[in-house]
Structure 1
Amino acid sequence: MNSQKIRFFRQRIPSFECIPGCHDCCGPVTTSSEEMARLPRKSAAEQADALENLSCPHLADKGCTVYSERPLICRLFGTTPALACPHGKRPEMMIDDAIEQQIYQFFKETRQVLV
């Protein structure tokens, strides 16, 4: 059931071009256990180092190493005024308010874990 919801939401979050090399929105985030299971496991040391640096353990020199599987929260950055890009980048059409609210409700209803 959650897989279908995640797929549904992913299809409705607009995409846009980020500034190459920017990772200003890549910090410690939480995500559903199901989304987390799609990501490669990181060691406790890698997790601790990322958290200490207020970063994501999946961020590398050339950007996100899990971009195609990035969690919903990461996909939302820049698509809503609540999570605006600090550089003003955004899609032509921002996310639909009703879909955004459904995503936030999904976050509330599912167990969230630190990436």
Structure 2
Amino acid sequence: MAKKSVFFRQKIPSFECLPDCHDCCGPVTTSSEEMARLPRKSVAEQTHALENLSCPHLADKGCTVYLERPLICRLFGTTPALACPHGKQPEMMIDKAIEQQIYQFFKETRQVLV
């Protein structure tokens, strides 16, 4: 499973978000494998983030786990299904076949709330 996750991470195109924008940063689900790469947050931090419809890894200066962010976070803005609310996107959107494989991966793996 880890190899699939790494493969998908390499296939999702990147682009530059608007500075200080965190409109796509909210509670998301991610695989147990991806979650294991992220720092543990306390129950209080998790609860506070959920109450604010935010991510516990979001700080004043942005994502504190950006390089290890889950696949779902990487997908935002790279597909019409998860479009950036500000119209930002990579030069070339994600390949439809890869996107479908990622959604299948989500269905096949145990998902937990970040």
Matching of residue 48 in structure 1 with residue 65 in structure 2: no
Distance 2:45 2:36 in 1: 17
Gaps of 5+ in 1: none
Off by >2 Å, runs of 4+ in structure 1: none
TM-aligned CA deviation for residue 29 of structure 1: 0.1
Q: How many residues align?
A: 114
TM-aligned CA deviation for residue 82 of structure 1: 0.2
Distance 1:6 1:106 in 2: 8
- Give TM-score scaled by structure 2 length: 1.00
The residue type paired with residue 96 of structure 1 is D
The residue type paired with residue 91 of structure 2 is E
Distance 1:19 1:112 in 2: 29
Matching of residue 91 in structure 1 with residue 98 in structure 2: no
Secondary structure at 1:113's aligned position in 2? strand
- Give TM-score scaled by structure 1 length: 0.99
CA deviations 1:57-79 (Å, max 9, x no partner) are 00000000000000000000000
TM-aligned CA deviation for residue 49 of structure 1: 0.2
What does residue 38 of structure 2 align with? 39
- 1:56-95 alignment to 2 at 5 Å? 56-95=55-94
CA RMSD across the alignment: 0.3
Secondary structure at 1:25's aligned position in 2? coil
Secondary structure at 1:16's aligned position in 2? coil
Secondary structure at 1:45's aligned position in 2? helix
Distance 2:30 2:92 in 1: 24
Gaps of 5+ in 2: none
Matching of residue 6 in structure 1 with residue 12 in structure 2: no
Aligned-pair identity in percent equals 88
Secondary structure at 2:19's aligned position in 1? coil
Secondary structure at 2:112's aligned position in 1? strand
TM-aligned CA deviation for residue 95 of structure 1: 0.2
